[in-house]
């Protein structure tokens, strides 16, 4: 194994994905990310001729969901009128947790039986992919076309001041890409076996029923909210939202919390609360599902407060997904599955700018202790990203999907 420390005044070698990944991992950047990790990425991109725009959004107090978030948009302009291809991702990471066999922010390469692995928080989600993006564009000449990076420090957090703020910034600048690739870790068993051409939407809904607190021996003087909440949840749980579509699995509604703040055995509580989460396909919208739940809650005498995290999107199979498939097959021999499974990502916002597809590393260790990426996969992903970018920049029609 070998150990790594943050460089001190040494020239960056931006076309080396392993070195890039180690530099980024060594910058502690638990969400919301700010400061050093963006300093590092800015230096990498500036060395490659990118104009870098960094800004901070959100001004709430530390320790709240309104903590300031740093974002970065970097662009290297090609000839006037040339296609514009964007890479997107995040440099914030989830908290490392306990039980690591080495320091989560002390990147380490270990010689394993299956090949060398790079360990560290963010190795696959998703500093490793960003390292490959940087290495990929290092070998693409500026005259090939316009390239940009859309990088947030708030994907793993509330996502309030991250990619949505970047989109506002890009629109104000007039820098709208024709195509965008998000480097989320989409591969399942081996690099290249899956890309994401869409994602389901997400809405969380908080339910509340207010009753009247009282003594259990005098129920006529109280109003127990729990039977009402049980009735609401039973009706919601029985809903069949749909049977799925050609590209999406069925929508599902899950009860994720049911709480009655009552520590006394002889008291009828005065309030019951619950929360549900719905992941939904493109047969629905966040608003339509919220209205359905609100109507059911109100019918029984309760209330519902929805928070829509994102709407479903689909980039239908076509020229863009074929570009990625061709690049993957050229480097790995695999024809990747086009999928819409999994959770949400910042692609749910970026789809409002241009066609967007997600493709990246193997996701087996993301968010786990001892998160690790195969060193060989970093080299292969760099080659894939380079092929995709060159294909996009050489496309005759700028707004391919």
Residue 19 CB coordination number (10 Å): 18
CA distance 356 to 196: 9
Q: Report how far residue 358's alpha carbon sits from residue 339's, in angstroms, rounded to the nearest whole number.
A: 10
At residue 85, the 3 state secondary structure works out as strand
Q: So which residues are the catalytic ones? A: 92, 155
Task: Confirm or deny that 175 is annotated as ligand binding.
Answer: no
CA dist 118 and 400 (Å) reads 35
Nearest-angstrom CA–CA distance, 311 and 293 = 17
Residue 184 marked as a ligand binder: yes
DSSP SS3 for 202: strand
* 158-to-57, 193, 346 alpha-carbon distances in Å: 13, 29, 11
Q: 104, 121 in Cβ contact below 8 A?
A: yes
Rounded to the nearest 10°, the torsion over CA 387, 163, 378, 325 is -40
Residue 87 φ/ψ, nearest 5 degrees: -100, 140
Is 284 among the annotated ligand-binding positions? no
- Degrees to nearest 5, angle at CA 351 with 348 and 357: 85
- In the beta sheet, which residues pair with residue 378? none
Question: Distance between CA 117 and CA 243 in Å, rounded?
Answer: 41
90 is in an annotated binding site: yes
| Residue 358 is labelled as binding a ligand | no
Residue ranges of the binding site: 90, 125, 156, 184, 367
Known binding positions for Zn(2+): 90, 125, 156, 184, 367
């Amino acid at each position: 194994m070998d150990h790594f420390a943050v460089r001190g005044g040494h020239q960056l070698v931006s076309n080396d994905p392993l070195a890039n990944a180690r530099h980024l991992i060594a910058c502690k950047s638990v969400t919301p990310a700010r400061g050093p990790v963006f300093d590092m990425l800015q230096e990498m991109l500036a060395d490659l001729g990118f104009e870098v725009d960094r800004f901070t959004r959100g001004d709430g107090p530390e320790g709240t969901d309104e903590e300031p978030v740093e974002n970065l948009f970097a662009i290297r302009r090609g000839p006037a009128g040339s296609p514009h291809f964007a890479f997107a991702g995040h440099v914030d990471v989830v908290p490392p947790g306990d039980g690591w066999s080495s320091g989560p922010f002390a990147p380490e390469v270990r010689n394993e039986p299956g090949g060398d692995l790079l360990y560290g928080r963010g190795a696959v989600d998703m500093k490793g992919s960003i390292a490959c993006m940087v290495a990929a564009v290092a070998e693409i000449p500026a005259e090939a076309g316009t390239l940009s990076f859309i990088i947030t420090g708030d994907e793993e957090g509330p996502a309030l001041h991250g990619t949505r703020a970047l989109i506002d910034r890009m629109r104000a600048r007039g820098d709208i890409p024709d195509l965008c690739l998000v480097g989320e870790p989409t591969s399942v068993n081996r690099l290249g076996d899956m890309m994401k051409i869409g994602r389901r939407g997400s809405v969380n809904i908080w339910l509340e029923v207010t009753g009247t607190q009282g003594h259990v021996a005098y129920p006529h003087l109280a109003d127990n909210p729990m039977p009402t909440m049980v009735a609401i949840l039973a009706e919601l749980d029985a809903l069949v939202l749909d049977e799925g579509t050609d590209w999406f699995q069925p929508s599902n509604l899950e009860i994720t919390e049911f709480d009655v703040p009552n520590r006394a055995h002889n008291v009828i509580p005065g309030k019951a609360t619950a929360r549900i989460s719905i992941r939904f396909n493109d047969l629905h919208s966040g608003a339509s599902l919220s209205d359905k739940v609100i109507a059911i809650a109100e019918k029984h005498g309760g209330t519902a407060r929805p928070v829509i995290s994102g709407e479903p999107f689909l980039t239908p199979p076509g020229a863009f997904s074929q570009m990625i498939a061709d690049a993957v097959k050229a480097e790995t021999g695999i024809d990747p599955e086009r999928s819409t499974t999994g959770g949400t990502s910042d692609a749910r916002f970026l789809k409002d700018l241009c066609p967007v597809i997600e493709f990246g590393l193997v996701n087996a260790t993301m968010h786990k202790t001892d998160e690790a990426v195969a060193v060989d996969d970093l080299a292969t992903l760099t080659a894939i990203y380079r092929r995709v970018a060159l294909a996009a920049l050489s496309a005759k029609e700028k707004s391919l999907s």
